[in-house]
């Protein structure tokens, strides 16, 4: 059983998948920093100093000035600002993956296509049948 597991784990696809997951986690950290530290502050400034991560609705109870205060009080909230940040992160990741796949496909060498063999004409088919009949033992 251990040998089967080792063979499974060392197949190319499993190793490639593991590398992809590790790179994906690292890329996610970069995208999170890009959105939270680079993109959202200027967008918030343009919208009058708004911090998207503090956009929320309290479902029950009193109003709170920040999401952290609402969570500390144990209030039930809908955090639509956090959702907006997540959507922006997704769009950035999707675009980056699109560009990456597009470049990989561009760099991939296309295999030459084999020339298509045309179907034999009716005359060729008849001549082949006649040849086969002449070759057949009598």
Structural domain includes residue 63: yes
What pLDDT is stored for residue 12 in this prediction? 65
What pLDDT is stored for residue 123 in this prediction? 92
Q: Domain of 9?
A: 2-110
Q: Using N-to-C axis directions, what is the helix angle for 12-33 and 2-9, rounded to 10°?
A: 50
Res. 1: pLDDT tops 80: yes
C-alpha to C-alpha distance for 82 and 89, rounded to whole angstroms: 11
Nearest to 75 by CA among 88, 65, 61, 85: 61
Q: What CATH number is associated with residue 30?
A: 1.10.1200.120
pTM over 0.75: no
Q: How many domains would you assign to the chain?
A: 1
Residue-wise pLDDT tens digits, 24-62 = 888 888 888 887 788 878 877 887 777 777 888 988 878
């Amino acid at each position: 059983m251990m040998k089967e597991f080792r063979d499974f784990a060392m197949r190319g696809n499993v190793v490639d998948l593991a590398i992809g997951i590790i790179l994906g986690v690292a890329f996610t950290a970069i995208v999170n920093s890009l959105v939270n530290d680079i993109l959202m502050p200027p967008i918030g400034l343009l919208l009058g100093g708004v911090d998207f991560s503090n956009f929320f609705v309290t479902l029950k109870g009193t109003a709170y000035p920040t999401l952290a205060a609402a969570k500390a009080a144990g209030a039930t909230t809908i955090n639509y600002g956090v959702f907006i940040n997540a959507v922006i992160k997704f769009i950035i990741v999707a675009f980056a993956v699109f560009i990456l796949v597009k470049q990989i496909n561009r760099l991939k060498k296309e295999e030459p296509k084999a020339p298509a063999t045309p179907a034999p004409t009716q005359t060729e088919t008849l001549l082949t049948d006649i040849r086969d009949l002449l070759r057949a033992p009598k």
